Homo-oligomer: A and B are copies of this chain.
């Protein structure tokens, strides 16, 4: 199997990609980057996207879905703003999204449907077109490989650090790149979240194959994290493939699997960064459920544990309260015999056969005090398993969210 090597890089690292970012004035903080553009010069660029399942999907999500379909996966640019989600904004919001993509397409000299749009920030606040449209000409004029690095910061909202990852592999004697950025940090839930992620690659892949592989990579990464159980209105993951590496990939073949492995690794890296930067999060928690009858059972249990405020606050407090973990498993809807369950924190057994394992309290607390931990729940029923990544629930989550809007 090909090894994908982590490298220093940004969205402009894969051949053919340019970017730029500016302060349009949507964010109230002076000079904070809040509008960005990603563009690919390659005429053979393909694209794929995965969007929120929320019925209250934001205007940019609705429009991007349309454009992706109309262009048959031949998207060349993504314009993105932070500071306003353009969700629950009615007709005016839809007009803003349409006008933004129309003007961007005109400035770039490409068809309108080849431009996608994404927004993140406050829901329900009217968005001011003028701020965006007046900034677009300079955004297009300033496109460059180097400036693509700035897009990472331009999509941040409550994120405390920028999230980016770049990979490189030698395949068929040539070099292929994958680069991705993402933002969190609240409304993060298994079925896509207030998260945006943009990925560029110089691989050569047909749009259908790209969509298939993006879906698979997303299911194994962004769809396996949870910060607070709230599925947002704006979740968007978009990948663009310039084809300029000259290495072509086909889904379902050994060579397609090579690309999928890199894409999954990239998405998992970004997904883990989102969890680490979950609002108020101090601890990174891997929840591994094994020994289940079915994968669905394992998945349900892992998600119930990851979303339990009682488990999350116990982890925040460094309290080895394994009973709450077994309790969450019990109401998850999965089938299992509680009397067989084993629960471990890192290597230490807390619960065996559904009861207290007689662990050393201080030793268990020490494991729970670590900034990174793995909760292992073995049901001892079958062979299926599932992993979910989550964080603790702290005072800071409350502080951030009690005053986010005002």
- A86 vs B82: C-alpha distance in the bound complex, in angstroms? 50
A338-B91 Cα distance, complex, nearest whole Å:
12
Q: Enumerate 16 A-B pairs (CB-CB under 8 Å) in ascending A order.
A: A53-B331, A55-B335, A88-B355, A90-B339, A92-B355, A126-B356, A187-B310, A189-B331, A191-B331, A230-B308, A231-B331, A309-B309, A314-B404, A317-B402, A317-B404, A395-B399
A348 contacts B by Cβ under 8 Å: no
Instruction: Give residues of chain A (347-406) contacting chain B, Cβ–Cβ below 8 Å.
Output: 351, 353-356, 361, 365, 393-395, 397-399, 401-406
Contacting residues of chain A (301-319) with chain B, CB-CB under 8 angstroms: 307-310, 313-314, 316-319
Question: Contacting chain B: which of A16-24, A117-125, A170-178, A245-253?
Answer: A117-125
> B55–A351 contact, CB under 8 A?
no
Contact of A401 among B88, B313, B328, B406 (CB under 8 A): B313
Q: How far is the CB of A374 from chain B (nearest CB, A)?
A: 19
Chain B nearest CB, measured from A268 CB (Å): 23
Whether the Cβ atoms of B355 and A89 lie closer than 8 Å is yes
Cβ of A60 under 8 Å from chain B: no
* Residue pair B404, A321 in contact (C-beta under 8 Å): yes
B326 near A124 (CB under 8 angstroms)?
Answer: yes
Interface of A is mostly: loop
* Contact A56:B326 (CB < 8 A) given known A90-B354, A331-B191, A356-B126: yes
User: What residues of chain B lie closer than 8 Å to A113, measured between beta carbons?
Assistant: none
A355 and B401 within 8 A (CB): no
Structural contact, B313 and A397, CB atoms closer than 8 A: yes
Given A230-B327, A327-B56, does the pair A401, B126 have CB atoms closer than 8 Å?
no
Q: Does B54 lie within 8 Å of A330, measured CB to CB?
A: yes
Task: Tell me whether A288 is interfacial, beta carbon within 8 Å.
Answer: no
Q: Is the CB of A317 within 8 A of B55?
A: no
Q: How far is the CA of A404 from the CA of B339 in the complex (A)?
A: 24
Contact across chains for B89 and A356 when beta carbons are under 8 A apart = yes
Q: Is A186 in the interface zone, CB < 8 Å from B?
A: yes
- Determine if A324 is an interface residue (Cβ-Cβ < 8 Å): yes
Chain B residue nearest to A92 in the complex (CB): B355
- Contacts of A258 on B, CB cut-off 8 Å? none
Encode contact with B along A33-61: 1 for CB under 8 Å, 0 otherwise.
00000000000000000000111110000
Known contacts being A89-B355, A394-B398, is A338 close to B56, with CB within 8 Å?
yes
B324 touches A402 (CB 8 A): no
Let me know if A327 and B405 touch, CB within 8 A: no
B residues less than 8 Å from A93 (CB atoms): 355
Quick one: closest B residue to A55, CB to CB? B330
Instruction: Report how far A319 CA is from B319 CA in the complex, Å.
Output: 31
Chain A stretch 93-127: residues in CB contact (< 8 A) with chain B: 93, 122-126
Q: Establish whether residues A402 and B314, one from each chain, have CB atoms under 8 Å apart when the complex forms.
A: yes
What residues on B are CB-neighbors of A266 within 8 Å? none
